[in-house]
Structure formats: structure tokens, C-alpha cells
Amino acid sequence: MSGKGKQQAQVIRLSNKGFNLIELLFASMILVVTLVGSLALFIQCIFLNEINRNYILVTKSLETKMEEAKEAGFYNIFAVCPGTRPQGAICNNDTFDINGFQVGAAKGRVEISNIETTLKQVRVIGSFRSRGRTVGGDVNFDGVVNGGENPGSPAELVTLISQP
């Protein structure tokens, strides 16, 4: 074969090693689907991170309020609050704001019930708004579970305090 014929054969062989248009379109589609899926996953992770941050803030406030109840002791925790409230007393249906949220976006409530004469149950419940969704039973954040509101919450702590 002459030199010119070898060059033409090499050119033909080199052009057969490339991608055709359909292969490039198919690879591009796979890349686009992968990138869109990854972006959607990344955005969902950002939303979940914010919700988890809010749960941590609420739980920390509930733990602080529960520690206040434990420090107040059996004789300063009331299922029915007396007319003159002793200093440091905690009463049933006390409400408190949860730190780290805008005003009116989170509220906590204390529920106290007498289990026996020597045993009281303290339940601290938190409700908050995150991304337009209310988590917890107190939808209007007034500290009271009104008609149509669910008294439960995924953010709640319960303990028993006994008479010394």
C-alpha cells in the first residue's frame, strides 16, 4: 500500500473511535437526570437540617423548664395554682416562650397532674412553626390546647416528682 493509502486508512480508523450524536445525547440525559436528582436531594437535606435544628432548640428549652420544675421541688409544683403564687412555683398550664424562634413562632406549656398524694407528673410540651408547618398541638401558640388542636407533640418531656 502506498503512503497516501495508509494515511486515508488511519483517518478512517480514527473517526470510528469517536462518539456519535445519539451516544452524546444519551450520556447528556443521564448527566442531567443525575444532577437534577442530586440537587433535589441537597435541597431536601437543607430543609431537614433546619427542622432538626428547631427540634434541638425546642428540646433544649423543654429540658431547661423540666430542670426548673425539679429544682422547685414537690411542694412548689401545683396542679391547681394557689391564689398567692409562691416565688419559684410552677403551676399547671404555665406557658413560656422558646428561645431561638421569632416571637409567636414557638411556645411551651407545662402540665402538672397529681398521680397520688405523694407523686406528681410534670409534662413539658413544645410547639413550633417550621417552613409553614406547625409541629405540636398548640397551632395558634396561645399556650392552651383549644378545640380542634391536638394535645400531643413530638417535642415533649415527662417526669414524675415524688414527695421527699
For 81-103, write each residue's pLDDT tens digit. 888 888 888 888 888 988 888 88
Rounded-to-integer distance, Cα 19 and Cα 30, Å: 15
Average pLDDT value over all residues in the chain:
84
Checking if the pLDDT of 116 tops 60, the result is: yes
Checking if the pLDDT of 60 tops 90, the result is: yes
Domain map of the chain by residue range? 3-162
Segment 41-56 shows an average pLDDT of 92
Segment 68-85 shows an average pLDDT of 88
Which residue(s) pair with 121 in the sheet? 113, 160
What pLDDT is stored for residue 2 in this prediction? 58
pLDDT top residue among 50 and 139: 50
Three-state SS sequence of 26-95 = HHHHHHHHHHHHHHHHHHHHHHHHHHHHHHHHHHHHHHHHHHHHHHHCHHHEECCCCCCCCCCCEECCCE
What pLDDT is stored for residue 88 in this prediction? 83
Checking if the pLDDT of 35 tops 90, the result is: yes
For 1-27, write each residue's pLDDT tens digit. 555 655 555 555 555 667 788 989 999
Rounded-to-integer distance, Cα 42 and Cα 48, Å: 10
What pLDDT is stored for residue 5 in this prediction? 56
What pLDDT is stored for residue 150 in this prediction? 67
Confirm if 99 and 117 have CB atoms less than 8 A apart: no
Residue 103 DSSP class: T
What pLDDT is stored for residue 82 in this prediction? 81
